[in-house]
A and B are shown apart, each in its own frame.
Chain A
Amino acid sequence: MSGNNGRRRTTGSSAAKRQMRSSNGKLLRDTGRAVGGALIFSLPMLMTMEMWWLGFYADPIRLAVLIALSVPLLIGLSHRIGFRYTLRWQDIVLDAVFALGIGLFTSVTVLILFNVNRSDMAVEEIVGKIALQTIPAGIGALLARSQFVATSNEPDQRREDTYGGEMFLMGVGALFLGFNIAPTEETVLISYQMTQWHAIALVLLSLAVMHGFVFALGFQGGTELSPETPWWSALIRFTLPGYVVASGVSLFILWVFGRTDGLAFEQVVMAMIVLAFPSAVGAAAARLIL
């Protein structure tokens, strides 16, 4: 982009105008992409009634914590896959705010179209519903950049990941799938039906699935893993921490959604294990999804 700028400036004002028009086109295209991404990722949640109910029974303080955490999360994500290839902090923060705005716009529009938000509802309820939906939609809007990059003619702008960056991505992947599944009543219902033996088997299965993903995806470019890495090394350095990240994210989501209230400790552990299964898959597949 900056290279083009320099070349065009020499040809005078008509080139400047053309430059402006093309940057408007790019803004429009980016906005369209972002709305598309927001829809892809948030429609399952926009059309889940438990997600609407959470708007009035979720604790406002927990919702505030969730929203407060989503800002650094989006900034971190934007740093890795922004709408533009940039290393300037202002641009990265701007991208995150832009994504959140698109997320807000998309959720408000859809919730009004579904007549889920009506004028006779309490303000707290309406705000709660919108706030909950804005976060997945915002993540989706940001992810649109990487989702649709294959169809664009811009160069692949993936950066090399550090170990911390890898863990962060796993966390986002876990949040993503966990957020999709946690609001449903089935998450806790499954945990009520399971015995401890089922839970142990589910933990082992989650680890196995995760390790499969880590191993299969790890050898593609951009990671620290190489085909010479022994399986146990990848297991300890990536799979196990990834599962801990996925479990932590699951526990956090369950807490935000009030699913842990009044539950005994062992039951909270069971619910966490149930949600950690999809979250672990999300974490391990983050490299594919994000």
Chain B
Amino acid sequence: MDMTKKSGQPKAAIKEGTAHPVEWAVGGLSALLILGLLGFLLYQAFFVSPDPPRFAYEIGRIERAGDAFRVPVAVTNQGTETAAGVRLSGMLERDGAVAETAEIEFDYIPRHSTRHGAFLFSADPGAAQLRVRVLGYSDP
């Protein structure tokens, strides 16, 4: 916004059709930024190969939430394509048998991006083994 002050001075010159150097400087800088943006996109288009969604999980600290246990989970899509309607299931296994399951659905997990959610279990997940897996997803 400090442009206002700088260009306020040579107003007469502007009106006569000759551009002030500040205008060219701003224009040149903008051109560089836009070229940079296009270059970045071209680089991505040429050198980043398409990669279907792959998921990595990170389980947070288990907390009591009223009469349930809350297990925060962060899912990262490591692919270069966005996944929609991602269904995540969490299974509590005790002595080889499934004790309880919980599910989360994420609307979107964009490429290389992370989304957060939480499983709610009625049994204490600390006393069992938690298995997390993605059931499926669709293309956006």
A residues near B (Cβ < 8 Å) are 76, 160, 162-165, 167-168, 188-189, 192-193, 195-197, 199-200, 203, 207, 224, 226, 228-229, 233, 236-238, 240-241, 243-244, 247, 262-264, 266-267, 269, 273
B129 CB-CB contact with A under 8 Å: no
Select A224's contact among B3, B15, B22, beta carbons within 8 Å. B15
User: A196-B42, A237-B27 known; A165 and B4 CB under 8 Å?
Assistant: yes
On whether the beta carbons of A269 and B110 are closer than 8 Å, the reply is no
What separation, in Å, do the CA atoms of A263 and B113 have in the docked complex? Answer: 5
Q: Are B140 and A240 in touch, CB under 8 angstroms? A: no
- Encoded as 1 (CB less than 8 Å from any A CB) or 0, chain B from 2 to 19 comes to 111111100100110101
In the complex with contacts A196-B44, A237-B23, A163-B82 CB distance below 8 A: no
The contact sample of 13 A-B pairs, CB cut-off 8 A, is A162-B14, A163-B22, A188-B108, A188-B110, A189-B140, A193-B140, A197-B45, A203-B34, A203-B37, A203-B38, A224-B17, A228-B17, A266-B40
For B115, the chain A residues whose CB sits under 8 A away are: 262
Please measure, in the bound complex, the distance between the C-alpha atom of A151 and the C-alpha atom of B3, giving whole angstroms: 34
Q: Which one of B27, B112, B114, B116 contacts A266 once the chains associate, using CB atoms below 8 Å?
A: B112
| Interface bits B42-55 vs A (CB < 8 Å: 1, else 0) | 10110000000000
Q: How far is the CB of A223 from chain B (nearest CB, A)?
A: 9
Cα–Cα, bound, A164→B35 (Å): 23
Q: At the interface, yes or no: B1 with Cβ under 8 Å from chain A?
A: yes
Q: Indicate which residue in B11, B26, B37 contacts A269 across the interface (CB closer than 8 Å).
A: B37
Contact A226 B14 (CB under 8 A): no
Shortest Cβ distance from B77 into A: residue? A264
Q: A192–B7 contact, CB under 8 A?
A: no
Residues of A with C-beta under 8 A to B116 = 262
